[in-house]
Structure 1
Amino acid sequence: MGVPAFFRWLSRKYPSIIVHCLEEKAKECNGFKIPVDTSKPNPNEVEFDNLYLDMNGIIHPCTHPEDKPAPKNEDEMMVAIFEYIDRLFNIVRPRRVLYMAIDGVAPRAKMNQQRSRRFRASKEGAELTEEKSKMREEVIQRGGYLPPEEIKERFDSNCITPGTEFMDNLAKCLRYYIADRLTNDPGWHNITVFLSDASVPGEGEHKIMDFIRRQRAQPNHDPNTHHCLCGADADLIMLGLATHEANFTIIREEFKPNKPRPCALCGQMGHEIKDCQGLAREKQGEHDEFADTVPVSEQEFIFIRLAVLREYLEKELTMTSLPFPFDFERSVDDWVFMCFFVGNDFLPHLPSLEIREGAIDRLVGIYKDVVHKTGGYLTENGFVNLERVELIMQAVGVAEDNIFKKRKDDDVRPHNKCCLLSTRRRGGLNMTVIDLVCPSSQSPAGGSDDVDSRGVKRKAEDSDSEPEPEDNVRLWEDGWKQRYYKTKFDVDATDDEFRKKVVQSYVEGLCWVLRYYYQGCASWKWYFPFHYAPFASDFKDIKGMFSDFEKGTKPFKPLEQLMGVFPAASGNFLPQIWRALMTDPESSIIDFYPDDFAIDLNGKKYAWQGVALLPFVDERRLRAALADVYPDLSPEEVRRNSLGSDVIFVGKSHPLCDFIRELYRAESHEVLIFLYELCHGIQGILNLDEDPILPDKIKFKDPQYDDGFVFKAVVLPGAKIPNKVLKPGDWERSNRGPWRPQLGFNPNLMKIPPNPSVYLVGFLHLMLLSGIV
């Protein structure tokens, strides 16, 4: 989700949701590596049924890591991905299902964000190459030493997009990987493996959620299934809550701030590229003149326990003296909805709501008052009550002027305590008191203002020492609304019709996003057609602004999406004739592919936080241009441009294996209903695969809904709610100081790990207060 600080805020406020993962390591005997037996009980003292992998969060760090040497070629990338999956499987040890979901073609609402990211990545890559070349020349002219420049093509991470040859190769490699593990790993023998590759439409996490929702709606679904979802995006927490499954856990890498990184020019540690002096690297050994000095430490994992988060939210959201019965499940859905206002992948956040300024707590306070007044909740099963939402927006709108002024005061107020403590620490008093007084300096369990979605620290170019551009909007001064609309939209703020149009689009977006989280994609073609959000005070008379979305919309095809999200610099991943549309001055869509573009910081400090002012792609013009080049596709390109289905794999000992083999022997291509007795209650539609690697692999489709089906956002009958783990002091502790994850999954291990320096500081503080020293 587009909220860099969300997980940091969540882990501070609700610290007991996080525990460290215990991981059993492989052993060596006489030079041979003995793999871990994943069929044995989980060392984390919990048994998971289903493991879901949001694969893009695995593919990116394995193909272009920031904290260790990059793989030399595509083969090494695939091996790194396999090893990463092995680690996760070892930690979680699912007993029923492993579901791997790679991002397929996304809804248009998401494609705009993908377009922004890919244009930025291309621009940053070109700028880094230019900077390295310039710095190399300067260092050599000064007489400095640099290792010979490697002649290798820069890995373009934009290839991690549906429709490219790389993604097609990845899908093939994963099929062989799955087949190998089902055959040779005892922990895999009896599980059902699903692979939803990039040919299957939908974002990875939403394909996973759709699978869970559809299985949950079946009469034989086990309401006590224990789900574990792997991914670092904050929206996975929201999606997990939205399922209302009693046992849901998220596993993600633990982010450790300020990890050392090598200079991109000389490869040595301790400085950045702009400070490189070209000093010769010290020998590490007789035959190791240029040994790699990058310290590589294996990343650890943490569990986020949504059952514990639900405990916290129950304390937070429970209301008394209501004119109607309190429904905790409905209040959880409303909380998820309110989090959308501080940012998501589909809408820009409202100018007055910043998560670092306590926006969610402010919204919760307003929400409790509104629910008392309106006599009902904001949402129901993914559908929004706009009349009640308007009351919340108007309450925020009343405070907007004060919010902007306080933001300005906070920006200019000197942080004396932080500066003092930093000085003291540099002077040798290295105590964790800096965390206690200045918690914004680092994150307790992941997430940082200066890191990207994978936990990689941002480049230092955008540092505090650089002059900040002039802010022409000046939200803290009178007339801010007029300046905002004139600067951002180039319209007069008195143009009520335009403001109403922006608000209406935003209201549609709120309805679309909530529906996407609870019911699936309501429209593949809808998107928010502006770069900026309206003000909360602009939300007036919104009740009738939305009725429903257009029915029957379909996703783009993979190559069509590539044309919609790629810059011209990544055109090499497209067919020859198609890429000419990106570069030919006579192309009818050449304006979709600017060579350069502006980034509006929009009140932020870093360029990566700003708004990329790219033109929006006109779908009708794009399709018209592509109609002329479609006949030129080769058979292989036509195949890559087609939409696929999930594939199911089972091992020889699986109860379903013989049934699938019989289908292939009979060459029966008719669609069959999946027999739930053979596969832990899972139901769906089976069809033979045209090119099976093994005869125990087959296409799979989830059960199909009727047109009028609505997912019910409730805890299922028969679900056993996990025992509560929060102690009386845990709620108070959630608002105090930094916290470190616990070791292990044991719910009894709820105490904060001892930190002697913290105790020392506390002891000295008490002595000062008492006058002893």
Structure 2
Amino acid sequence: MFRWLTDQYPDVLNRQLEQGLSDDLIVDNFYLDMNGIIHPCTHGNNEGEIVILDETAMFKKIFLYVDRLYKLVQPSKLLYLAVDGVAPRAKMNQQRSRRFRSAKEAEAAASEILARAQQTGKIPEDWENQKRFDSNCITPGTDFMLKLSLAMQKWVEFKMQTDEFWINGADVIISGPDVPGEGEHKVMDFLREAKEGKVYSKDLYQPDHTHVLYGLDADLIMLGLASHEKNFLLLREKMSVVMAGRGRNKYRKRKDMLEYNENDFEVLDLSGLRQMLGLQFRKYLETENLKVKTFELDRIIDDFIFMCMLVGNDFLPHCPHLEIDGGALSLMMNNYMDLLPDWGGYLTKKEKLHPERFEQFMYHLALYEEEHFSRRGYEENEAGWKLSSENEDDKDDFYGKFYTGNPTPACAQAANRRGSSEPAPEEIPMAPSGNRAFRRSHPDSTSRSYRDFYYETKMGWKPEDRSRTLFRRRAHVRDYMEGLHWVMNYYHNGCQSWDYFFPHLYSPLATDLVNLAELYSERDEDGFCAWEFEKGTPFPSLAQLLSVLPPQSADLLPKPLAELMLHPSSPLLEYYPSDFKADANGKRQSWEAVVQIPFIDGARLLETVQQILDADQNGQNILTPGERRRNMPGKVHYVPAPGERDPNRGRKLIATKSSPKRPSSNRKSRQVR
């Protein structure tokens, strides 16, 4: 995402921080996504290196780096330190997959390193007794994160008493790992509340403030745009610095983080990106000589965020052929600009979606789906991907068979389960429809398409059992649409459901996303549809650890809870496989593979954990006081600067541009891989 944006709109990226102070653009509020600091500060400088746990040294490095960033940016009003707390269930599933994969890779890497050390005779002294660092401890609810949180509070208080820069500087807000929510979303929640006047001091937020958010995640770009703040910038280390010694930068000397200087950072100007998107649409309307000459930039921005969301987010798998590296986002932008004048309106309205416009939008993208799978068939030497849709018989139309009523969540859940709880195929209500965008048939052993192959190999849905498979595919589409609304809500309004998650490892095909209006019962006056969610509550920290940690990290849990991962008689044992498959799914990088592990049954897990906690509270002393503390919710800490604020505090991070250049054209880019 970052590379695509900077290729298309190169002027938004400034690779050289400006020297000195400036009156025309000073930073008011500086937000740190702390997990982007904690991870690199606790890992070794050399790739593949086994790190020995030294908490004191790690904490010191984290705090020194925060101090370095603070003095680099020099915010005049606020420094916000946001550490990841318990995430919504939709994110926890992704965290679970990542941690299972990283644990498996760490085991293999440790074995390889130890084998090499044994060959050379350079085994570290006292190797067996040294406690090696498990990066999975950077998860809310662990002993490591509790200690880090307490140490951070003490360190900030210490700096406010001893360092003139801090004493006469910005106020500090600390949202630690015991406060629910992802770090970057805590920042967005703060901004939303500040706009409503819910802030510690009016001085901490004004509409014309300049906001800088530090972090590496591409998600930050969409969140920053979704804030619609007038002045918003992203600060991050240059990838050539972060990746030094690896890949294309393998000949570049790797620096320790505390050695980074101003030249090692870059700034992405989201305010400039807003301007360039506006310029791009204005130029297009003028060039095409269209009747529509005006548009609402904020609505264009929201639709752009939605398109970015379709090619990748942390909560939903994207449609297989919509790869950003394959040109999908460029194709989306082209189609969007072609369709927008005819629509007479927009694709989204914050968390709402216009189903007919979205269906038309996806129709144009789906035209490239078969080409994608055909190419993938040759790359993977898999004949199933090359099965043509022309094999299907036009006598039957899959999209002429859909629910007469709106499929309810309970109905969809039944469709997603295997076993006797599913409705019998003859009980599924179907009705004819005039939508014939794509043809389908009853496939048999001699008539199959890539679509049948996809759902059979990825979802286990047999094309021979046609009625049941059609039911499942329609429920799959319903689940996906619900997921899109959840993510839209998350970006624009914050978490609307802590319990929601997409209950599949793979997305539906784009060619299945039709008759979408049938999934909604109500519209607003402009034809936009919303999806209702139940708010729910965040998982307690210890239950969350059980939800995301692999069995290799069981020692990060209190022993009674660790046994739930390891003991043969545990009621939760099935959720912690010692081995699993990872499906490359057409991707090149191992970290992109689909980790095939079961979804946790949240209700079952919470009930099991609660039984242990109840026994502890009834005097059995199952947990230690420290372990109980790890499960307690915390609060946000506000630490005002005690001194006289320096009126000249602030620094210029980017050169002021009098007028943005026209973005690089992508109007000729029509191919998507």
Normalised by the size of structure 2, how large is the TM-score? 0.77
Partner Cα separation in structure 2 for residue 620 and residue 472 of structure 1: 42
Partner Cα separation in structure 2 for residue 322 and residue 347 of structure 1: 37
Q: Deviations over 1:185-211 (max 9, x none)?
A: 333224211000001000000000010
Q: Deviations over 1:31-66 (max 9, x none)?
A: xxxxxxxxxx63797410000000000000001144
Contact 2:477-2:513 at 8 Å conserved across structures:
yes
Partner Cα separation in structure 2 for residue 171 and residue 329 of structure 1: 37
CA RMSD of aligned residues (A): 2.9
Among 211, 215, 233, the alignment partner of 2:217 is 233
Contact 2:114-2:123 at 8 Å conserved across structures:
no
Counterpart in 2 of 1:535? 509
- Gaps of at least 5 residues in structure 1 are 1-5, 25-40, 263-268, 271-292, 412-468, 656-721, 737-773
Correspondence 1:134 to 2:115: yes
> Which stretch shows the higher mean deviation, 581-590 or 360-369?
360-369
Contact 2:117-2:123 at 8 Å conserved across structures:
no
Partner Cα separation in structure 2 for residue 585 and residue 295 of structure 1: 46
Contact 2:334-2:666 at 8 Å conserved across structures:
no
> Which stretch shows the higher mean deviation, 216-225 or 379-388?
216-225
Shift of 1:407: 6.0
Partner Cα separation in structure 1 for residue 312 and residue 154 of structure 2: 39
Shift of 1:296: 4.9
Counterpart in 2 of 1:315? 279
Correspondence 1:515 to 2:489: yes
Aligned pairs for 1:403-552 (under 5 A) are 403-405=372-374, 471=382, 473-474=384-385, 479-493=449-463, 494=466, 495-545=469-519, 548-552=531-535
Partner Cα separation in structure 1 for residue 369 and residue 641 of structure 2: 59
Partner Cα separation in structure 1 for residue 537 and residue 382 of structure 2: 41
Contact 2:178-2:541 at 8 Å conserved across structures:
yes
Shift of 1:726: 4.3
More helix by share: 2
Q: Against the structure 1 CA distance between its residues 351 and 129, is the aligned structure 2 distance closer, same or farther, given a 3 Å change threshold?
A: same
Among 635, 659, 673, the alignment partner of 1:645 is 635
Counterpart in 2 of 1:78? 59
SS at match of 2:517: coil
What amino acid is aligned across from residue 636 of structure 1 in structure 2? G
Shift of 1:20: 2.8
Contact 2:25-2:210 at 8 Å conserved across structures:
no
SS at match of 1:474: helix
Counterpart in 2 of 1:173? 151
Contact 1:23-1:91 at 8 Å conserved across structures:
no
What amino acid is aligned across from residue 395 of structure 1 in structure 2? H
Q: Against the structure 1 CA distance between its residues 314 and 346, is the aligned structure 2 distance closer, same or farther, given a 3 Å change threshold?
A: same
Partner Cα separation in structure 2 for residue 145 and residue 733 of structure 1: 58
Counterpart in 2 of 1:389? 358
Counterpart in 2 of 1:731? 663
Shift of 1:128: 1.1
Correspondence 1:306 to 2:234: no
Shift of 1:496: 1.5
Partner Cα separation in structure 2 for residue 322 and residue 541 of structure 1: 30
What amino acid is aligned across from residue 516 of structure 1 in structure 2? Y
Q: Deviations over 1:391-443 (max 9, x none)?
A: 1112212232234345667x6xxxxxxxxxxxxxxxxxxxxxxxxxxxxxxxx
Correspondence 1:160 to 2:138: yes
Partner Cα separation in structure 1 for residue 534 and residue 323 of structure 2: 35
Counterpart in 2 of 1:694? none
Counterpart in 2 of 1:288? none
Partner Cα separation in structure 2 for residue 294 and residue 19 of structure 1: 22
SS at match of 2:663: helix
Contact 1:71-1:77 at 8 Å conserved across structures:
no
Contact 1:190-1:650 at 8 Å conserved across structures:
no
Partner Cα separation in structure 2 for residue 92 and residue 588 of structure 1: 51
Correspondence 1:562 to 2:515: no
Partner Cα separation in structure 2 for residue 313 and residue 574 of structure 1: 48
Partner Cα separation in structure 1 for residue 665 and residue 366 of structure 2: 32
Percentage of matched positions with identical amino acids: 38
Q: Deviations over 1:594-653 (max 9, x none)?
A: 001100001122322210001000111112221221133333322221212111002322
Correspondence 1:351 to 2:315: no
Counterpart in 2 of 1:583? 566
Q: Against the structure 1 CA distance between its residues 44 and 90, is the aligned structure 2 distance closer, same or farther, given a 3 Å change threshold?
A: farther
Counterpart in 1 of 2:337? 368
Higher normalized contact order (CA 8 Å, seq sep 6+, divided by chain length): 2
SS at match of 1:628: helix
Q: Against the structure 1 CA distance between its residues 200 and 473, is the aligned structure 2 distance closer, same or farther, given a 3 Å change threshold?
A: farther
Partner Cα separation in structure 2 for residue 44 and residue 74 of structure 1: 41
SS at match of 2:75: coil
Counterpart in 2 of 1:609? 592
Partner Cα separation in structure 2 for residue 72 and residue 159 of structure 1: 11
Shift of 1:182: 1.6
Among 227, 233, 245, the alignment partner of 1:260 is 245
Normalised by the size of structure 1, how large is the TM-score? 0.68
Q: Against the structure 1 CA distance between its residues 44 and 88, is the aligned structure 2 distance closer, same or farther, given a 3 Å change threshold?
A: farther
Contact 2:33-2:184 at 8 Å conserved across structures:
yes
Among 199, 210, 235, the alignment partner of 2:189 is 210
Contact 1:383-1:511 at 8 Å conserved across structures:
yes
Partner Cα separation in structure 1 for residue 455 and residue 186 of structure 2: 38
Q: Against the structure 1 CA distance between its residues 544 and 594, is the aligned structure 2 distance closer, same or farther, given a 3 Å change threshold?
A: same
Partner Cα separation in structure 2 for residue 533 and residue 147 of structure 1: 47
- Gaps of at least 5 residues in structure 2 are 390-448, 521-529, 617-622, 646-654, 669-673
Partner Cα separation in structure 2 for residue 149 and residue 112 of structure 1: 39
Shift of 1:254: 0.4
